[in-house]
Amino acid sequence: METLVLLVDPARPEPELLAQAAKLVEQGGIVAFPTETVYGIGCLPGFTGSVDRIYALKGREFDKPLGVYLAEPGAIARHARHVPEAAGRLIERYLPGPVTVILDGPSGGKVGFRVSPNPTLIGLLRALGKPLVGTSANLSGRPSSRDAPEVLEAFDGRIEVVLDAGRTLAGADSTVIDCTTSPPTLLRAGAIPADRIATLLGAPLRRV
């Protein structure tokens, strides 16, 4: 397989390039894309084989669910079973932004929801008209990729397309907060400090 690399304008990604990437994804392909923190890889959830490929490519354990990338915060309520008050505060304050909010999914199990302000990812999601499932674009246990060359180092010839919008800004992964517990649980420290989130919620976070 030859991985297609599409060089896009990070501020104004070209619609024709986003459409080209979306077409490959709609055919079951895996795409790498920038967020404001690190690069991710994803596919459409309806392609079970592509979802399994992501796990295999990363060497990721199957008991670790993939996240859901959405174009806007308001879409979370349509894809989650319930949005607790604490989650609502997080969503209103920090999304779009570098926080992953864990909620109960509509079919059982927990789902991590991610809404990035990155124009390239938003444009891809709007071109698709549906969410992506995915995770960070790195081999499990290795540092997350911050640019397309780092993505290609891990996945060249193994995924269909990379949207290259240059180096990401933050460099730290998103902060992951499980809002299915009371109080919410910090699952991963990241770009937003845990103490700022605890102050917003008015209670210390659980730790794992």
Domain boundaries, the chain: 1-71+115-172, 81-111+174-208
pLDDT at 112: 97
Q: Has residue 171 got a pLDDT over 80?
A: no
| pLDDT band for position 70 (cuts 50, 70, 90) | very high
Q: What is the pLDDT of residues 77-114, one digit of tens each?
A: 999 999 999 999 999 999 999 999 999 998 888 999 99
Q: Identify the bridge partners of residue 31 per DSSP, sorted by sequence position.
A: 42, 161
Q: Has residue 42 got a pLDDT over 90?
A: yes
Q: Does domain 1-71+115-172 have CATH number 2.60.260.20?
A: no
Contact partners, residue 98, CB within 8 Å, separation at least 6: 35, 36, 37, 116, 170, 172, 173, 174, 175, 190, 191, 192
Q: Look at the alpha carbons of 108, 48, 44, 66 in this order and tell me if their dihedral is positive or negative.
A: positive
Mean pLDDT throughout 144-162? 97
pLDDT at 108: 82
Tokens of 148: 């397309």
ω into 96 cis (within 30 of 0):
yes
The pTM score is 0.96
Q: Has residue 201 got a pLDDT over 90?
A: yes
CB-CB contact of 65 with 47 (8 Å): no
Q: How far is CA 196 from CA 42, 98, 142, in A?
A: 29, 13, 27
CB-CB contact of 15 with 128 (8 Å): no
pLDDT at 208: 86
